[in-house]
Structure 1
Amino acid sequence: MIISIKLLVITSLLLSLGISFIHAASETDTSRLRKDLLTGYDKYSRPVQNHRDTTRVKVNFILKGFDLDERKSIFNMHAWTVLVWEDGHLKWDPKSYGNITRVHFAAHELWQPDLTVYNNADKSEIDHFGNTRLIVYNSSHVVWVPPTKFQVPCQTNLRKWPYDTQTCGINIGSWAHDGTMLDIVTPANISTMDITDFRPNREWELVDNSFIKRIKYFVGVPYPDIVLTLNFARKSSSHTACVVIPGLAIAAAILIAFWLPPGSSERLSILLVTILINVLYLYYVYSLIPNNGDSVPLVLLFYRDSLFMLAFALVWTVCLRYLAATKRDSPVPLPSFIMGFLESLPAKILCLDPRPTTGRRENTGAEGNEQSDGTGTANPFGSGVEKKNPFQDDWAWLAHLLDRVAFMVYLVIYLIFYLALL
């Protein structure tokens, strides 16, 4: 009986020693180090021995890409955020752990700075940095490089669309700690983000970016934050092809119509067809550009004002046809100051052709189509109306002069439009 009890005790001791040896053999230096570091570690407390000490977090950004939702006025920036700080609880002697100088931890295991986007436009449960692992060095330095997506509101200015340049900003700072508890440190002599691995955007071209630290004081307490600003310009080649060039064609059609005689049927046809095209493009541009601001795009104003100018050109043409070709029962001479202007050099330059003299012959038969005046100069309007008024050529030439003036006015207006747009 005594012998069996001794055997049982010896067997139990051997089993315990075997389990201990197996456990010791399975425990690596890394797992032992992790267990020792996490023993008694509080991830919800700032990693300082004295609560009056300041935790300094070094911050840098590697810009990966961005996109802009113009209809919702939402800007998204994709980056790698580089965060480095010192955690006094995570320090060890490498010689005691197989010369291990660094070890990895999950994001939920260690304290992390509570950096938050102040102008956030994402969901209320904020998690900008995701659940990536941290690297801890034996010197107590912690390095965290999480892939980051910042989503913020950005009010766009489409005044110069499609040649517009937009500016969007992101404000980042601690949500619960002031500058005496958590200070943000930016790289020295660096005011821009790293764009080495930047992925070009399909619609936008990055012009410039800035990365600065600010300190605001509330009741004498400092609150540091970081301001990221991106300036980017629209890639406008496709918009130029489908929107701007047709606008140039509409302007050219109006000017060509003004160069034709008011009495010609082609002029009315060109104006009517151009009005139809302008209406279609006005609706197309309106549906293409987001309606998210008080600043109306110049290209939309161009098509709107061009439609008004086309309607006025149509009314102008009808009035000139009446002025130039309507028969008058009694001679109505032009006022003397108008006659004087018709004889001036500017009038000759605008009308280009020599001004006809007053015709006093009535056209009959086949001559009615050309309406030759007394000097053999053809009536530029070709109205086909028999002349019984000896001053008819003066009225026709006045209409011709007014048409040239309208042509010059329209040309100047369209040049101003395009200079403002481009």
Structure 2
Amino acid sequence: MQVLHTETWVRLNWNDPQLTWDPAKFGNVSKIYVPSGAVWKPDIIIYNEVGLEIGRPSTDFLISITSDGEIQWLYPRTVETSCKMDAGKYPFDVQRCNFIFGSWSLPGNMLDVVSKNEKGDDQHYVDNGEWILLNITVERHVLKYKCCPHPFPDVTFTLLLKRRSLYYIFNLIGPCLLITLLHLTSFLLPSESGEKISLNVTILLGLTVFLLLVAEIMPPQSEVIPVIGRFFAICIVIVSLSTVTSVFVLHLHFRGSRGFPVPRRMRVLVIGKLGRALLYGNLIEKKEERKRTPGENVTLNSLKITRKESYSNGGELSPPPDSPGHAISTLGCHDDYVLNTDAKPPMEDLGFPHRHVEDKSEAEKIIIRDWILVSLILDRLSFVFFCLADIVLVAYVCVHIYMETTS
């Protein structure tokens, strides 16, 4: 329930047979003005008025009386009335606020209340910066209450008001929509940057600030959720899901460094199908070619060192064929050492197995690359999904704006 503040001009007309005279006997005076407190006045009040000035207005305004007993009382009044707001379409809402005029004490058999015009007078209406007055309708009701045996008539003036939504579109909905669309850029950031989560959290904080501003100006109701409330809720849900998705993608991106290989089903579904559908086919083919082409690793099994030994008799002896090779020193090499590249002794002669450490390092790199590729594919899939969600959100806002401008 809201309070409507209105500056009104009230016109009351009634007939009092006791206030008639013959103008010919009184100098052809057919109309006089007297203080409002000098004559009887009907106790017409506004039933749904609120505030401290409930009841009849001040007696400072004059009343006009004609010779045939017709009385007219014109006075301005600031009225505060209760108005039940329908906030379901806020801020694109249209409200109906009533002014219910009737007698508080006299029933219908003693005082009848009717409207002089079939429609309210808006000739001197002053435009409001927040509301547009569409129409003023008048209806007469006759209601019977439990307190009294006779019914009480009343006249109800209904103001049809339409809210001006430009302020809310320009200051709240537009900036909030642009901030929400920024979450798409988090899917374009590389995972190594470490800024994915911080960007989404910053956007969530910005939306929270806007939501607090809207809560201050929005009518407090629990019956319905306004349009702007649903809009902010959708924005927060989208950004929250985007944050959760980014956390999951980061988890997959760095999973390879812990040595967990990509499961076979995930490899088939994500790399095999989704990757090619999301235009990662070239990257997948390069990865497969790298797996098929083994790296050239330099080992010591192709080198054999022989040593010349000199004896006192000047003869030279070569070490036996099965003797172990000696270490190679590239700096300060003595002439007594000869490098024999033709000999290919078994790897056991060098003291370590055939598979060396570099093979294990290459396997770890392959696992890391696989997980990075999986995270890239899921990142692009999330980007496409949230692009569609944002398009639906923009269409939702545009439809309401279009309906508001054309209605």
- What secondary structure, in the 3-state scheme, does the structure 1 residue paired with 2:141 have? strand
Q: TM-score, normalised by structure 2?
A: 0.68
1:207 aligns with 2:134: yes
| TM-score (ref. length: structure 1) | 0.66
What residue in structure 2 maps to residue 399 of structure 1? 378
Identify the residue that residue 370 of structure 1 maps to in structure 2. none
- CA drift of 1:106 comes to 1.0
Question: Alpha-carbon deviation of 1:162?
Answer: 2.6
Report deviation, 1:260.
4.5
- What is the SS of the residue equivalent to 1:185? coil
The whole-number CA distance in structure 2 between the counterparts of 1:238 and 1:316 is 34
Tell me the secondary structure at the aligned position of residue 14 of structure 2. Answer: strand
CA deviation string 1:380-405 (max 9, x = no partner): xxxxx932478557634642453245
Residue segments in structure 2 that go unaligned for 5+ positions in a row: 295-363, 402-407
The Cα of 1:173 is off from its aligned counterpart by 0.9
Report the alpha carbon displacement of residue 290 of structure 1 after superposing the two structures with TM. 4.4
- Report 1:136-147 matches (<5 A): 136-147=65-76
Question: In the alignment, which residue of structure 2 is the partner of 1:46?
Answer: none
Q: What amino acid sits opposite 1:258 in the alignment? A: F
Which of residues 252, 257, 260 is equivalent to 1:323? 252
Secondary structure (helix, strand or coil) at the match of 2:118 reads coil
SS at match of 1:123: coil
Q: Secondary structure at the match of 1:243?
A: helix
Corresponding residue to 2:10 among 55, 75, 81? 81
8 Å CA contact 1:83, 1:144 repeated in 2: yes
| Distance verdict in 2 for CA 1:225–1:409, change over 3 Å | same
* Structure 1 pair 209–260 and aligned structure 2 pair: CA distance change class (3 A): farther
Structure 1: gaps spanning 5 or more residues: 1-71, 365-384
Contact 1:334 1:395 in 2 (8 A): no
Identical aligned residues as a percent: 21
- The DSSP-based 3-state class of the residue aligned with 1:221 is coil
The structure 1 residue matched to 2:264, chosen from 322, 328, 333, is 333
What residue identity is the alignment partner of 2:106? H
One-letter amino acid matched to 1:206: L
Distance 1:317 1:406, change over 3 A: same
> Quick one: which amino acid aligns to residue 381 of structure 2?
L
2:94 to 165, 182, 187: 165
| Contact 2:103–2:154 (Cα < 8 Å) also in 1 | yes
Distance 1:233 1:222 in 2: 34
| Match in the other structure for 1:342 | 273
Pair 1:410-2:389 in alignment: yes
Q: Is the 8 A contact 1:129 1:148 kept in 2?
A: no
Change (3 A) 1:289 1:206: same
1:179 aligns with 2:158: no
Q: 1: distance between equivalents of 2:75 and 2:370?
A: 87
Q: What is the CA–CA distance in structure 2 between the aligned matches of 1:331 and 1:293, rounded to whole Å?
A: 49
Contact 2:95 2:162 in 1 (8 A): yes
- 1:135 aligned counterpart, secondary structure: strand
Aligned counterpart, 2:182: 253
Q: Which residue of 2 aligns with 1:31?
A: none
**Count of residues in Structure 1 that have an aligned counterpart in Structure 2:** 326
Compute the displacement of 1:354 (Å). Answer: 4.1
Q: Find the residue that maps to 1:183 and give its secondary structure.
A: coil
One-letter code aligned to 1:113: P
Structure 2 counterpart of 1:342, one-letter code: K
What is the alpha-carbon root mean square deviation over aligned residues?
3.5
Change (3 A) 1:122 1:280: closer
